[in-house]
Amino acid sequence: MDSIATSIQPLDGDKMIVNMGPTHPATHGTLRIVLELEGEIITRATPEIGYLHRGVEKLGEHLSYNQFVTLTDRLNYCSSIMNNVGYAHAVEKLLDLEIPERAKVIRVLVSELARIADHVVCVGINAVDIGAFTAFLYLFKQRETVYDLFEMSAGQRMHTSFTRVGGLFRDLPDDFFPLAERFLEECPLAIDELEKLLTRNPIWHDRTKGVGALSPEEALSWGYTGPCLRACGVPQDLRKSQPYLGYDQYDFDIPVGTTGDVFDRYLVRVEEMRQSLRIVRQALDKLKELGPGPVIVDDYKVALPPKEKVYTRMESLIHHFKLIMHGIEMPVGEVYSATEAANGELGFYIVSDGGKNPYRIRVRPPCLPIFSSYEQKVRGRLIADAVAELGAMNVIAGELDR
Amino acid sequence: MVNVILEQIDERLPKAITDRHDFRGDTTIVVAKENFLAVVDFIFNEGFQLLVDITAVDWPLRQVDGREQRFDVVYHWLNLATQERLRIKVPVADGEGVPSLVGPTLPPHFKTADWFEREVFDLFGIPFEGHPNLVRLLTWPDFPGHPLRKDFPLDGGDLFCMADSTAPYTGHSHLVGE
C-alpha cells in the first residue's frame, strides 16, 4: 500500500516536456505544440507555427491578379474553391465590377459544396482523433462526391483555381447536375448517420462537453469568426449580415450554440451542413431558371476574350495581348473584402498602386486568431482535451502559415 | 453611423484623425501613434469590438511633412451591431514602434492582437511597444531580415535558390559519369 501511496503524490517541480507535432496525426498539417505536463495535466502549451509558411503575400506582390488565384487554392486546401471565390470577390470590389448572375449563382453553389466538404473533414477527423473512427468513413464518401463535382467543374479535385477576375473560367458541364442531385439525396442520409453515431453517444459527450468552452466576450476578444464564434452564441455570419453574391436571396438559417465547447461546435457544423444543402438546392433551381448565359464579364479590359475571337479578330487579339502582358487596368486604392469561408471570415486586403501586380496583398486567415487562443483553452486540462480542442478549432496549417 | 463616431472623435480628440478617405465603401482614417490608444478606446466603446486584422504596408522612401514615414500599420475593425467596418492606419518610420494592444496595463479587449502583432513584427520589423512576448511568429528566431519589406528580395537572398536554378536541365548525366 505504501508504494502506491507514494506514486500518486504530486510531483513538485517535475515537469515533462512533450512535443506534439510538427508531425502528429492530430495537427492536420505541420505545426508544433510544446506541452509542459504535470502528469496528464497541461501547465503550458506553446504553439510554434510557420512550418508551412510559403510567403504567399510576398509572392502575391510579384504575380498578376489572375495568377494569384492559384495561390489561394493552397490556403485552406480543404475548401480551396471558397478561397478562390473570396479572392476574386475582393479584386472585383477593387474594380467595382458586377459579375454575371449565372457566375454568382455558380459561385454560391460551389462555395456551399466546399463548406460541406470542409465541415465533413473537420467533424470527421475530430471524431477520429478522439477515437470514433466510423463516422469519418460514412462522411468521406460524401466528401468524395463533392470532390468529383469539383473535378467536373474545375478539372481539379483540390487545387481548383475555378474563379477568374470577373467570373469563372468556364461553365458547369452537363453531367454536373445529375451527380449534384444524387448528392443532395445521399448527403442528408449520411449526416443522419453521423448524428446517430455521435450526437447522443455518451462517450462523445464525455470527451467533448465542456472542453474549450468560451464566453462570447472572450471569443470576440480573441477575434473568433465562423462556426467557432457562432458556437459561443454570437449569430455573426457574413452571408446574412453583409450579404455578398446575392446570399440575401437564399433561404437558410444560422445555427448558434451556447457554450462554445467542442460539442457545440460539432452541433453547429452539422447543422451548417444541412443549411448548406438547402442553399445548394436553391442554387441548382436558380441555375435551371436562369438558363444558359455568360459566366464571365463581357469586358475585355478585365477578362480574356474567347479563343475563337482571339484567332479571328484583331481587337480581341490586342485585348488578349494587353491583358497578358500588361494586366488589368487597376484603380489606385485599397479595399478589404471579407467572405464567410468554412472556418470563418476570410479577408483579403489589397492595396493597388495601379500596376499589373497588387502593391500589397494581405490574406486574413480565419484560423490564426482562433488558434492563438489555444494556450488559454488547454491550460489546466488533459492532453486528450488538447487533441479534441485542436481538431474542433479546425486549424488548417496552409491557411495558418500562408 | 460611422460618420457620427468619427465626428465625435474629432470633437473629443481634436486633430487625432489626420486624414480620412472613403473608397468602395471602406472608411479609412489615419491616426498618429500618440493618439492611437485613445482612439481605439473610443471606438471600442462605440461598438467596434471585433479586431479583425492587423497588418502593415511598406512604402519605402515615403516622406510626410519632411518626416520619414515608411510603414502604415493597418488595423481593421468590425462593428457587430451595425456591421460597419473601419480601417485605422498608423504611419511610422523605420524602427519606430506602435503601442501594442495587448500590453499588461491595457484592458483585455483585443487578445487577438497578440499574434497579429507578432506577425507584423516578424514580417515587417515594426516593434510594438509594450507587447509582452514580441518574438517572431512565422519565421525562425535567427531569420535574417523581414520578408515583407519591399527591399527584401523575392528569393530570400538565398544563393542556393538562384545560382543553379536558371541553368538548363542536363538530366542525370553527371551521375552516370563519362
- pLDDT of A154-166, one tens digit each? 888 888 889 988 8
Q: Is the pLDDT of residue B158 over 80?
A: no
- pLDDT of B38-57, one tens digit each? 888 888 888 888 999 999 99
Q: How far apart are CA B102 and CA B97, in angstroms?
A: 14
Let me know the angle formed at the C-alpha of A156 by A151 and A158, rounded to the nearest 5 degrees.
105
Of A145 and A134, the structure prediction assigns the larger pLDDT to: A145
Distance from CA of B169 to the nearest CA of A (A): 24
Yes or no, beta carbons of B80 and A236 under 8 Å apart: yes
Distance from CA of A21 to the nearest CA of B (A): 16
The interface pTM score, or ipTM, of the predicted complex is 0.84
Report chain A residues whose CB lies below 8 A from the CB of B57.
351, 359-360
- pLDDT of B94-149, one tens digit each? 888 888 888 778 888 888 998 999 999 999 989 988 888 888 888 888 888 888 88
Distance from CA of A50 to the nearest CA of B (A): 4
**pLDDT tier at A11 (50, 70, 90 boundaries)?**
low
Q: Is the pLDDT of residue A316 over 80?
A: yes
Q: What count of Cα atoms within 13 Å lies in the side-chain half-sphere of residue A161?
A: 11
- Does some domain include residue B66? yes
Write down the pLDDT at residue A2. 53
**Closest residue on chain B to A58 (Cα):** B148
Tell me, letter by letter, the H, E, C secondary structure of chain A. Answer: CHHHHHHCCCCCCCCEEEEECCCCCCCCCCCEEEEEEECCEEEEEEEECCCCCCCHHHHHCCCCCCCCHHHHHCCCCCCHHHHHHHHHHHHHHHHCCCCCHHHHHHHHHHHHHHHHHHHHHHHHHHHHHHCCCHHHHHHHHHHHHHHHHHHHHHCCCCCCCCEECCEECCCCCCCHHHHHHHHHHHHHHHHHHHHHHHCCCHHHHHHHCCCCCCCHHHHHHCCCCHHHHHHCCCCCCHHHHCCCCCHHHCCCCCCCCCCCCHHHHHHHHHHHHHHHHHHHHHHHHHHHHHCCCCCECCCCCCCCCCHHHHHHCHHHHHHHHHHHHHCCCCCEEEEEEEEECCCCEEEEEEEEECCCCCCEEEEECCHHHHHHCHHHHHCCCEHHHHHHHHHHHCCCHHHHHC
Identify which of A220, A336, A360 has the shortest CB distance to residue B85.
Answer: A336
- Does some domain include residue B16? yes
* Percent share of chain A, pLDDT over 90: 26
- Does some domain include residue B28? yes
Hey, is the C-beta of B139 within 8 angstroms of any chain A C-beta? Answer: yes
Which value, to the nearest 10 degrees, does the dihedral of the CA atoms of residues A57, A61, A64, A70 take? Answer: -20
CB pairs under 8 A between A and B: 93
Interface test with B, best of A336, A349, A353, A367 (most B CBs within 10 A): A336
Distance from CA of A227 to the nearest CA of B (A): 16
Domain residues for the domain of B115 are: 2-150
Report chain A residues whose CB lies below 8 A from the CB of B136.
50
- Does some domain include residue B144? yes
Cis peptide before B147 (omega within 30 of 0): no
- Does some domain include residue B159? no
CATH classification of the domain holding B27: 3.30.460.80
Instruction: Say if strands B98-99 and B128-129 run parallel, antiparallel, or are unpaired.
Output: parallel
Distance from CA of B176 to the nearest CA of A (A): 34
Hey, is the C-beta of B57 within 8 angstroms of any chain A C-beta? Answer: yes
Q: Specify the DSSP class assigned to residue B168.
A: P
Yes or no, beta carbons of B76 and A364 under 8 Å apart: yes
* Fold of domain A64-401: Cytochrome-c3 Hydrogenase; chain B (1.10.645)
**Closest residue on chain B to A353 (Cα):** B59
Q: Is the pLDDT of residue B175 over 60?
A: no
Long-range contacts of A49-53 (CB under 8 A, 24+ apart): A49/A371, A49/A397, A49/A400, A49/A401, A49/B137, A49/B138, A50/A401, A50/B136, A50/B137, A50/B138, A50/B139, A50/B140, A51/A22, A51/A397, A51/A401, A52/A397, A52/A398, A52/A400, A52/A401, A53/A401, A53/A402, A53/B138, A53/B139
Interface test with A, best of B122, B138, B146 (most A CBs within 10 A): B138
Yes or no, beta carbons of A368 and B116 under 8 Å apart: yes
Across the beta sheet with B17-23, the strand order is B17-23, B26-31, B84-92, B71-79, B50-58
CATH 1.10.645.10 domain extents, chain A = 64-401
Yes or no, beta carbons of B80 and A338 under 8 Å apart: no
Q: A65-69, A228-232, A243-247, B171-175: which range is least confident on average?
A: B171-175
At residue B26, the 3 state secondary structure works out as: strand
Hey, is the C-beta of B85 within 8 angstroms of any chain A C-beta? Answer: yes
Yes or no, beta carbons of A362 and B55 under 8 Å apart: yes
Summarize the confidence of residues A70-92 as an average pLDDT. Answer: 90
Distance from CA of B178 to the nearest CA of A (A): 39
At residue B123, the 3 state secondary structure works out as: helix
Yes or no, beta carbons of A96 and B52 under 8 Å apart: no
Report chain B residues whose CB lies below 8 A from the CB of A62.
154
Identify which of B83, B87, B154 has the shortest CB distance to residue A58.
Answer: B154
Report chain A residues whose CB lies below 8 A from the CB of B138.
49-50, 53, 401-402
- Does some domain include residue B170? no
- Does some domain include residue B44? yes
Write down the pLDDT at residue B178. 39
Let me know the angle formed at the C-alpha of A55 by A49 and A57, rounded to the nearest 5 degrees.
115
Report chain B residues whose CB lies below 8 A from the CB of A334.
23, 26, 28, 87
Distance from CA of B7 to the nearest CA of A (A): 23
Let me know the angle formed at the C-alpha of A173 by A172 and A177, rounded to the nearest 5 degrees.
85
Show which of residues 127-146 on chain A sit within 8 Å of chain B, judged by CB atoms.
none
Report chain A residues whose CB lies below 8 A from the CB of B50.
220, 223, 225
Distance from CA of A222 to the nearest CA of B (A): 4
Q: Is the pLDDT of residue A25 over 80?
A: no
Identify which of A50, A220, A402 has the shortest CB distance to residue B50.
Answer: A220
Report chain A residues whose CB lies below 8 A from the CB of B58.
360
Q: Distances from the Cα of A369 to the Cαs of A28, A160, B35, B52, B83, in angstroms?
A: 17, 26, 26, 9, 19
Q: Which amino acid is at A201?
A: N
Q: Is the pLDDT of residue A12 over 70?
A: no
Report chain B residues whose CB lies below 8 A from the CB of A223.
50-52, 110-112, 116
Number of domains within chain B: 1
Task: Please give the model's pTM, rounded to 2 decimal places.
Answer: 0.86
Show which of residues 279-308 on chain A sit within 8 Å of chain B, judged by CB atoms.
none
**pLDDT tier at B167 (50, 70, 90 boundaries)?**
very low
**pLDDT tier at B156 (50, 70, 90 boundaries)?**
low
Q: Specify the DSSP class assigned to residue B136.
A: -
Report chain A residues whose CB lies below 8 A from the CB of B28.
334
